Chain A
């Protein structure tokens, strides 16, 4: 599975959009990009995933560049409850293992 690179920390003002970048320059054609977040003392929470098209759900939007070497998770109106560690993961969608490899993630601090 390809490796990802994320900034260790970011701040965002409450009510503003939070844009979290992720580099995955060695991604293969059949690898999906997944985003999870982990709020302190809880298990990781699935947010969104995609292959090459942009995706949107009730939590966030995922923008994947045309060459698929990077992506951005967008939380459109960040709240204090969005303060968490955000993980960008790539994995093969058809892998029998299906294991997720979590890196160090980005600690997002949403400030009032």
Chain B
């Protein structure tokens, strides 16, 4: 089974802090994604990466950055946390999207609260 592991299930940080969310996948997937999920807004894509050191902005990249130094690890960084970044953050991975039978697999999420 595909395993996508997010480092924390729950996290509480203060406004202005630099926050790191870590995600590791064990299936040698090329693609990795960061989404946030908010009530009434569904899942929204923040950033994705299709290879080591490669990254692309998603729909809501403002206030975030990412790092992919190794294939299995994709980090989301909140440069200066703000209260409107309180949310559930979900990481996903998949083989290249040309592999039509291979869906995205998600981690269990990190519920981040910014005080």
Residues in A lying within 8 Å of B, measured CB to CB = 32, 34, 41-46, 49, 51, 93-104
B104: contacting residue among A46, A93, A96, A103, CB under 8 A: A46
Q: Chain A interface mostly helix, strand, loop or mixed?
A: loop
Q: Chain B interface mostly helix, strand, loop or mixed?
A: strand
B113 to chain A minimum Cβ distance, whole angstroms, is 14
Does B74 belong to the interface (CB within 8 Å)? no
A-chain residues with CB within 8 Å of residue B106 when the two chains form the complex: 43-46
Residue in A closest to B110 when the chains form the complex, CB atoms: A43
B97: contacting residue among A42, A45, A51, A95, CB under 8 A: A95
Is A94's CB under 8 angstroms from B98's CB?
yes
Given known A94-B98, A96-B97, A100-B43, contact A42–B108 (CB-CB < 8 A): yes
Is B90's CB under 8 angstroms from A43's CB?
yes
A-chain residues with CB within 8 Å of residue B25 when the two chains form the complex: none
A97: contacting residue among B43, B56, B98, B108, CB under 8 A: B56
Is A49's CB under 8 angstroms from B103's CB?
yes
* Chain B 21-58: CB-based contact to A (< 8 A → 1; otherwise 0): 00000000001010000000011010010100000101
How many interface contacts (CB-CB < 8 Å) are there between A and B?
Answer: 57
B-chain residues with CB within 8 Å of residue A32 when the two chains form the complex: 100
Is A98's CB under 8 angstroms from B90's CB?
no
User: Measured between alpha carbons, how far is A96 from B42 in the docked complex, in Å?
Assistant: 22
Residue in B closest to A44 when the chains form the complex, CB atoms: B106
A-chain residues with CB within 8 Å of residue B31 when the two chains form the complex: 98
User: Measured between alpha carbons, how far is A104 from B45 in the docked complex, in Å?
Assistant: 15
B-chain residues with CB within 8 Å of residue A51 when the two chains form the complex: 100
User: Measured between alpha carbons, how far is A32 from B97 in the docked complex, in Å?
Assistant: 12
Is A46's CB under 8 angstroms from B103's CB?
yes
Residue in A closest to B108 when the chains form the complex, CB atoms: A43
User: Measured between alpha carbons, how far is A96 from B33 in the docked complex, in Å?
Assistant: 12
- 21 residue pairs of the A-B complex, CB under 8 angstroms, read A42-B109, A43-B4, A43-B107, A43-B109, A44-B106, A45-B106, A46-B103, A46-B106, A51-B100, A94-B97, A94-B98, A97-B48, A97-B97, A98-B33, A98-B50, A98-B94, A99-B33, A99-B58, A100-B45, A101-B42, A104-B42
